[in-house]
Structure 1
Amino acid sequence: MKKSLLPRSARRQINGWTMASVIGAAVVLLPILYVLTGLFRPANENWDKVKQFLLTDYILGSAKLVIFTGFFATFIGVVLAWLVVGYSFPLRRFYKWALVLPLAMPPYIAAYTYSSMTGYTGVIQATLRNRFDLVLPPGTIDVMSDRGAIFVLTLCLFPYIFMLTRVFLERQSASFIENARLLGHKPLSVFFRVVLPLARPAIMAGVMLVLFEVLSDFGVANYFGVQTVSTAIFQTWFGMYDVQSAMKLAAWLMVAVLGLFMLERLLRRSRRYASPTSRSNPLKPQPLKGIAAWGATLFCTLVFLLAFFFPIAQLVVWAIETGGTVWRSDFLDLTVNTLKGAGLGTAIVLLIAILSSRAARMFDSPFMQALTRLLSAGYAVPGAIVAIGVLAVFIALDEWLAPFYGMLGKEEGALVLSLSLAMLITGYVIRFMATGYGALEAGYEKMPKAYSEASRTLGRSSLATFFRVELPLLRGSLLSGFVLTFVEVVKELPLTMLLRPFNYDTLSTRAYQYATDERVFDAALPSLFLVLIGLISVLFILKAERS
């Protein structure tokens, strides 16, 4: 009998679950690796011009947004988190969850809403002129600039840092902070010498999410006219019709993302943040009185109004004014396209996530752990990079399948897969696999292995054990993964704009088209639909957290 070349431990891990994980990892990594090969491809004439005249401006524009948005979002998020955790003041309980709601507002929607509100004919300047006879000098509150982009991105993204930092401080042992207070440290000393070092892992996790979102942003930067690498990819692709140069830009942006990863790991090297005790007592907030109490309430109120209430109120007013003209026959088609694409993408994400998370549970080995971690790589990659890689892979597939297309009567050089909904769905799966897999992985971590082992001991097969024992226990995690992934797909703009088939619009693309065509009022209704879907996600997160 012929002896296998693989060791027995490796042979035991090769089954349907493992192969599904390998296929899923290949789907995620192949387009990303294809983009990275753009670094080694020969440059064309367009790339030489981009590199000579434009690349420096693109890099500086991206760096400016990353640095300033990261700084302001960190400042606001950490200060707010410490206020609602460490102190008691009026409306504290409300702002503890209300300050997460700005996550429901896609940044590109906030961008055109604020640009109209602050313009000469907008509600702010019109109110000042008509009610108070006050005329502001031109450009006083104009947000159509890099400062406006930083302002909008900060307001929309600070909840990442706020939420992670707040949860970390609430669940971390309070002994450090209470001991510092007993030793006579003043509030500022406690904040800088105890709270910041203690919450550093959560703060850095939130900061990384913010930076990735800024690097992948297209809607805000393009609408405000800020030159970034993401906008350059679109301009090179659609303006110069040069996919090769766009791929080079995407490859360099990918290098920047990897550099951020390595920098964060380097800064965290040899650091330990674990509590020396297993006890985790909740921190008792200290009551604030007088000016301090109302100052904390005022700061939370100001941030909430700017980040959520004012834009939502303006969208509602516009939607009421223009709802009759926008709500027409094709609005239903937009909604169907949005739900269909998001539903298919989410279903495939959860299917691969279930197979991979169960394979990692069955075979707890370094190979499987590394493989499943690769499935989460797409979330850290900007949508424009994913789109370039997916398009390149699908065009290569069309070229490879050209003889088969000829047998079916297609013209020579026909693009079938590259013009289909399948390409867009593949982009969604790669981009948001981390969301679905994270939910399923968390569900399996909470499920004792003894349940599955008892089922196998009683004679049930692996498949029967999954359907009769594990799947019912994973119902909550499946629902969580579905909601979070579905909402992320619905809000996605750059990936959808780059990979959608011809004449295939969604709520996000139509809202952005209205805004760029100076039909901001008409963009309100589809924007409100997107915000409502985002609110469902945020409220689901808050409910799960309370549970």
Structure 2
Amino acid sequence: MKEKNNFWKTSSGAVALLLVLPILAIFITAFGEDTEQLFSHLMNTVMPTYIFNTIALVAGVLLLSLILGVPSAWLMAMCRLPSERVLQWALVLPLAMPGYIVGYIFTDWFDFAGPVQILLRDLTDWQAREYWFPDIRTLGGAITVLSLVLYPYVYLLCRAAFMEQNVSLLQSARLLKCSPWQSFFRISLPLARPAIAVGLSLVAMEAIGDFGTVSYFAVNTLTTAVYDTWYGYGNLSAAAKISGIMLVFVILLLSTERYSRRRQKLFQNQFSSREDFRYQLTGWKKWAALSWCWGLVAIAFIFPLGQLCIYAYKYFAQSWTAEFQQFAINSLYVSIAAAVIAVAIALVVNFYYRLRADRVALGFMRFSSMGYAVPGTVLAIGVLGSNSAIEHLVNDSIKAMGGTPPGLFLSGTMFAIIFAMVVRFSAVAIGSIESSLSKVSPSLDMAARTMGCKPNAMLIKVHLPLIRRGALIAGLLVFIESMKELNAALLLRPFNFETLATYVYNFASDEHLELAAMPAVLLVLVGLIPLVLVNRSLEQVH
């Protein structure tokens, strides 16, 4: 048994080291040669602007996501509204829309030559210089677009937190004649602070790592700085230094979020019988609440998806090409490979933790999950750096033995992009399988060991049948995330290789959104699957 445990310990440790290697490579690459002059030049010229834009972008997206997400969550959890069963999951749908796609559509609508300004000029007979209209391709436009697609993180977690709050507290508030507004500010909002903090931290990490939206809106952030330094200047080490700055931002953000909740210990009973205690909105309050919720869904999801469907129908013949079919197959190949590998990794680290449940096993799990907090552009730098180190080691070793070095056998290949997807999204699979394994009673492990089952047999005969659904969901989630990943795919794709995400980005960047509509619709429909799963799980729990 001890030998078997050593096998699982070695496997889990090797997996954790492999997944954390790109993050270490970022800092190692940052101290490479020929970076000081370029990096100093960037710091003295454009980097202050990039840093300011990044901070302003994150702050703006956090504020607007808070304004959009928290009231919507409270209305769905605490009020009775017509069509609420549809609204409670419809408010999550914008999460399926990639930010850069919404950005392209909004630009198409609100630019000078777009239908909104054309209608305004037709109605008023104004000329171009006789009126002011906000420019969508600005920092404010990027903040608005990203907030519309990211607020569901706050909405989902806050809605769950509001539904879990102790019903006796709400009863007491009503007995004390508290209005719904007072109850929200004095009871519901303070109790939901941990959920709000977690939701905002997810929003902030997504905003920091966004590339497609900010680059299209010509907003220079640290993410675009990494891309420009790598591709424009051809300097990987300088790009790694900028990536290190971004990692520090992410670490500070997560540390601040945890530190702010260090002394919070909230124990609540299940929010049972909530049907009897929700507020019945009537009159203008009901219509205001419905207008708020349905307006948010329409602006962030229904109208953009409708526009994409119109484009896809009109330009079907131009879109349905051999290239599109090939790139769809490429996306399937990469995503399936990443999903299978990520699920295998999750099984290894989770099962070792199941066997030992000590700090070492827990550390392996946490290290294996670190990649999810790293923006895709930054991770691409780390993957390239780690691949280069391995290639140099192998080539030097073979050359020393008198053989012919294979050259670049990892960089610029399918391995690089799949490896990046696995490092970034293994945390999703690890979390899903960890949740499934936690529901398996330890007594089953004891019974299996009593019957002489070794760890390998116990995993195959006992655990896998019981966590099969969790493993399938884990693979599905990794598959969908990999299908939509743009940043890492843009930087690591092999020559003449495109995924659906890069295909859409390239067409839309060239102002040919119509030809990108069909793959964009496909990406959105694929992205709806995890939202349906999440909403069903919430309904089952509550």
Short-chain TM bin: over 0.9
Does residue 150 of the first structure (1) align with residue 143 of the second (2)? yes
- Residue matched to 2:509: 516
| Cα shift at 1:121 | 2.9
Give CA deviations for 1:135-167 in whole Å, capped at 9, x if unaligned. Answer: 676661431111110010000000000011111
- Residue matched to 1:399: 392
| Cα shift at 1:455 | 2.0
Give CA deviations for 1:32-54 in whole Å, capped at 9, x if unaligned. Answer: 12213356557432111101001
Aligned pairs for 1:267-346 (under 5 A) are: 267-275=260-268, 278=269, 280-283=271-274, 284-346=277-339
Contact 2:98 2:149 in 1 (8 A): yes
Query: In structure 2, how many angstroms separate the alpha carbons of the residues matched to 1:341 and 1:141?
Result: 40
| Pairing partner for 2:446 from 446, 450, 453 | 453
How many equivalent residue pairs?
536
Aligned pairs for 1:401-440 (under 5 A) are: 401-403=394-396, 414-440=407-433
| Cα shift at 1:537 | 2.1
Query: In structure 2, how many angstroms separate the alpha carbons of the residues matched to 1:319 and 1:407?
Result: 57
Query: In structure 2, how many angstroms separate the alpha carbons of the residues matched to 1:132 and 1:54?
Result: 42
Contact 1:59 1:229 in 2 (8 A): yes
Query: In structure 2, how many angstroms separate the alpha carbons of the residues matched to 1:322 and 1:405?
Result: 53
Query: In structure 1, how many angstroms separate the alpha carbons of the residues matched to 2:3 and 2:190?
Result: 44
| Pairing partner for 1:483 from 471, 476, 500 | 476
- Residue matched to 1:505: 498
Give CA deviations for 1:421-462 in whole Å, capped at 9, x if unaligned. Answer: 111111111111110000000001111111222122122222
Contact 1:353 1:440 in 2 (8 A): yes
SS of residue matched to 2:423: helix
Query: In structure 2, how many angstroms separate the alpha carbons of the residues matched to 1:115 and 1:73?
Result: 20
Q: Which amino acid aligns with 2:340?
A: A
Give CA deviations for 1:80-99 in whole Å, capped at 9, x if unaligned. Answer: 00011111122222211100
Does residue 32 of the first structure (1) align with residue 23 of the second (2)? yes
Aligned pairs for 1:24-423 (under 5 A) are: 24-37=15-28, 43-129=35-121, 140-275=133-268, 278=269, 280-283=271-274, 284-403=277-396, 414-423=407-416
Query: In structure 1, how many angstroms separate the alpha carbons of the residues matched to 2:163 and 2:175?
Result: 19
- Residue matched to 2:457: 464
- Residue matched to 1:3: none
Q: Which amino acid aligns with 2:65?
A: A
SS of residue matched to 1:418: coil
Q: Which amino acid aligns with 1:77?
A: G
| Cα shift at 1:13 | 8.7
| Cα shift at 1:406 | 6.1
Query: In structure 1, how many angstroms separate the alpha carbons of the residues matched to 2:124 and 2:328?
Result: 42
Contact 1:92 1:297 in 2 (8 A): no
Query: In structure 1, how many angstroms separate the alpha carbons of the residues matched to 2:118 and 2:517?
Result: 20
Query: In structure 1, how many angstroms separate the alpha carbons of the residues matched to 2:404 and 2:448?
Result: 55
- Residue matched to 2:532: 539
| Cα shift at 1:403 | 4.6
**Structure 1 residues 106 and 409: CA distance shift in structure 2, 3 A:** farther
Q: Which amino acid aligns with 2:26?
A: V
**Structure 1 residues 358 and 111: CA distance shift in structure 2, 3 A:** same
SS of residue matched to 1:196: helix
TM-score normalised by L of structure 2: 0.94
SS of residue matched to 2:515: coil
Percent identity, please: 33
Contact 1:90 1:294 in 2 (8 A): no
**Structure 1 residues 97 and 19: CA distance shift in structure 2, 3 A:** same
TM-score normalised by L of structure 1: 0.93
Q: Which amino acid aligns with 2:282?
A: K
**Structure 1 residues 526 and 115: CA distance shift in structure 2, 3 A:** same
Query: In structure 1, how many angstroms separate the alpha carbons of the residues matched to 2:147 and 2:250?
Result: 19
SS of residue matched to 1:521: helix
Contact 1:111 1:220 in 2 (8 A): yes
Contact 1:87 1:286 in 2 (8 A): yes
- Higher deviation after alignment, 45-54 or 462-471: 462-471
Query: In structure 2, how many angstroms separate the alpha carbons of the residues matched to 1:460 and 1:139?
Result: 75
- Higher deviation after alignment, 281-290 or 415-424: 281-290
**Structure 1 residues 89 and 404: CA distance shift in structure 2, 3 A:** same
> What's the C-alpha RMSD, in Å, of the aligned pairs?
2.2
Q: Which amino acid aligns with 1:54?
A: V
| Pairing partner for 1:18 from 6, 9, 27 | 9
**Structure 1 residues 473 and 438: CA distance shift in structure 2, 3 A:** same
| Cα shift at 1:231 | 0.5
- Higher deviation after alignment, 335-344 or 530-539: 530-539
**Structure 1 residues 342 and 52: CA distance shift in structure 2, 3 A:** same
Contact 2:377 2:491 in 1 (8 A): yes
Query: In structure 2, how many angstroms separate the alpha carbons of the residues matched to 1:100 and 1:546?
Result: 14
Q: Which amino acid aligns with 2:374?
A: V
Query: In structure 1, how many angstroms separate the alpha carbons of the residues matched to 2:259 and 2:28?
Result: 26
| Cα shift at 1:535 | 1.1
Give CA deviations for 1:95-135 in whole Å, capped at 9, x if unaligned. Answer: 11100011110111111111112123323234445578676
| Cα shift at 1:196 | 1.3
Query: In structure 1, how many angstroms separate the alpha carbons of the residues matched to 2:96 and 2:398?
Result: 44
Contact 1:39 1:252 in 2 (8 A): no
Contact 1:402 1:413 in 2 (8 A): yes
Query: In structure 1, how many angstroms separate the alpha carbons of the residues matched to 2:126 and 2:82?
Result: 34
Contact 2:30 2:239 in 1 (8 A): no
Query: In structure 2, how many angstroms separate the alpha carbons of the residues matched to 1:44 and 1:141?
Result: 40
Contact 1:98 1:304 in 2 (8 A): yes
